[in-house]
Structure 1
């Protein structure tokens, strides 16, 4: 006869304990991810100094705007798109052409029209023209099935890159556009890195607020319903194609805004900043952070930027291999996520 304390044990519940512990750990993944990434960021700032940390913060803000905007399409609506960098590049080139003060009057120099407009006048145009391009692409291909969006967005990225590269009379092709000024308003110039970081974070906060209002509204609930069952939502009288086109354009405008910020921050752009690989990395950021989660997009962008910048300082990794190593590590992270947490660090549903 077993001892009394063994007889008192509920063996059925004991057998369920490992599963309960696993589920509990799954629920705490987001908390731990936040703790680890924040601690990593703090250690990185102390390690590299305030100046470098400010630059990393600006990079994070731009990637986060892109990730939040793409998540509206991929996460909340269920349309897989790898063409977002095309809209990002459109916004950057519009900002460059409208605001650059370069003259290009040297012999054998490729000249383009530049207008010298202020940043805050050129930025809305960057967003609007990126949205207009998205509208034209969306109208042309909106009638296709959702899985065709992948091919459409892939083709758009290739076309956009070739336009940036070969339309020399507007983009200067491989030579790029320089002398893109920093923002200025009321006599205050955002020429310091800290000032520009605060401006970028302000725009990120605006994008997060607008995105949250969208997904919390009836418009956002329709997007979620489209992701779950597009045919069912049309039974209730909603035109799913109209909603998909609308979120596609809104998302592209946000990406165009990020492109304008990027151009002004770097003061120089060329086509190499808008290659297909950047689109793939952006999709990876969204999946890493979590689909249908604005907070997850911020988390994924921060993790990616810290990973990308941190690997540059590994003593055993030569500089020429940093890019390839970054892609390998990010790929391994995605494989592990698909195996153990398919919804991402803070996602609402599985890919």
Structure 2
């Protein structure tokens, strides 16, 4: 097993380029609209799960209301596109800003607390946002939802074909992975990991815990807002039922299954748990029960998830050091 991990660590760039090439070829090999649609939804959930893993996996803060920021981004984009006719460049940026601002206002008082207060607060926040979306008829049209959301367009080019949406979400996934990886590899990322392991020790080292937590919480929510903007303009219709607590729990289970603090694990977790309900379509009403059973089994067999606690950068350095020692 160690040799396999070392091999994967040494060839991360090659593996990443191969996966990207396969992703680009996917709609050409599987051209059916159903396949492309499922792959597009997988891409959207990858963005959502990576954003949640940034706060939960790398910082150790449990958030159970990620769908609230997803919904805020979706409604922001939908309202700006339908009522003001703004193009997707403005709707996406606005969705990220509004979701990030909501996270800042929520996180500033909440993240001062320790323990699982954030989990409880975000769970309640998600329900509050859903109720606002359900009852503010003048803004969100309540249970009627927002209809006829225009597709993304810029400078006369409109994204309206399934394959175009697919390549659009692939670009967003690549940008999200790059952003998360850069954060993790930076000084900020090291600070986040230190906070997740021991807050007292991190504070003693001079790390401003509240600033780091709030910053990553805002970034996480902004990325969820991006995903929400894509969802709104991809589906062309949204209503509050898509942004409830069950959606938050589904995203949370994806990162637990794939592995906390693991980008490859998150991607695997999303793909497996997004496609599983389609494979078991007859059991769609029992989706959360199935997810729960999978989560229980994972906690018993491999609590850290499929690729949790596997640091490929560290493994590569160790393997290179061992190889250099053997050459000597």
Classify the TM-score, shorter chain: 0.7 to 0.9
Preserved CA contact (<8 Å) 2:261 2:309 = yes
Match in the other structure for 1:289: 258
Q: Give matches, 1:1-351, under 5 Å.
A: 50-100=32-82, 114-312=83-281, 317=282, 321-324=283-286, 326-348=287-309
Cα distance in 2 between the residues matched to 1:186 and 1:136: 35
More displaced stretch, 280-289 vs 47-56: 47-56
**Segments ≥4 residues shifted beyond 3 Å:** 23-28, 44-49
Change in Cα spacing, 1:46 to 1:336, as seen in structure 2 (3 Å) is farther
TM-score (norm 1): 0.79
Q: CA deviation at 1:175?
A: 0.6
Cα distance in 1 between the residues matched to 2:303 and 2:229: 33
Cα distance in 2 between the residues matched to 1:309 and 1:115: 37
Cα distance in 1 between the residues matched to 2:69 and 2:119: 15
SS in 2 for 1:269: coil
Cα distance in 2 between the residues matched to 1:199 and 1:146: 38
Preserved CA contact (<8 Å) 1:45 1:52 = no
Q: CA deviation at 1:50?
A: 2.2
Deviations 1:236-282 (A, max 9, x none): 22110110000000000000000000000000000000111110111
Preserved CA contact (<8 Å) 1:131 1:252 = yes
Q: CA deviation at 1:185?
A: 2.2
SS in 2 for 1:177: coil
Q: CA deviation at 1:27?
A: 6.6
Number of equivalent positions: 295
Deviations 1:119-144 (A, max 9, x none): 11111000000000000001122221
C-alpha RMSD of the superposition: 2.4
Q: Point out where structure 2 has 5 or more consecutive residues left out of the alignment.
A: 10-14, 16-22, 311-328
Cα distance in 1 between the residues matched to 2:3 and 2:254: 23
For the pair shown, the structure with the greater C-alpha radius of gyration is: 1
Deviations 1:94-126 (A, max 9, x none): 0010001xxxxxxxxxxxxx1111111111000
Change in Cα spacing, 1:89 to 1:230, as seen in structure 2 (3 Å) is same
Change in Cα spacing, 1:291 to 1:270, as seen in structure 2 (3 Å) is same
Preserved CA contact (<8 Å) 2:255 2:266 = yes
Deviations 1:125-175 (A, max 9, x none): 000000000000011222211311111111111111111111111111111
TM-score (norm 2): 0.85
Cα distance in 1 between the residues matched to 2:248 and 2:206: 34
Q: CA deviation at 1:297?
A: 1.0
Structure with higher helix content = 2
Deviations 1:2-57 (A, max 9, x none): xxxxxxxxxxxxxxxxxxxxx779979x99xx9xxxxxx9xx99999622110001
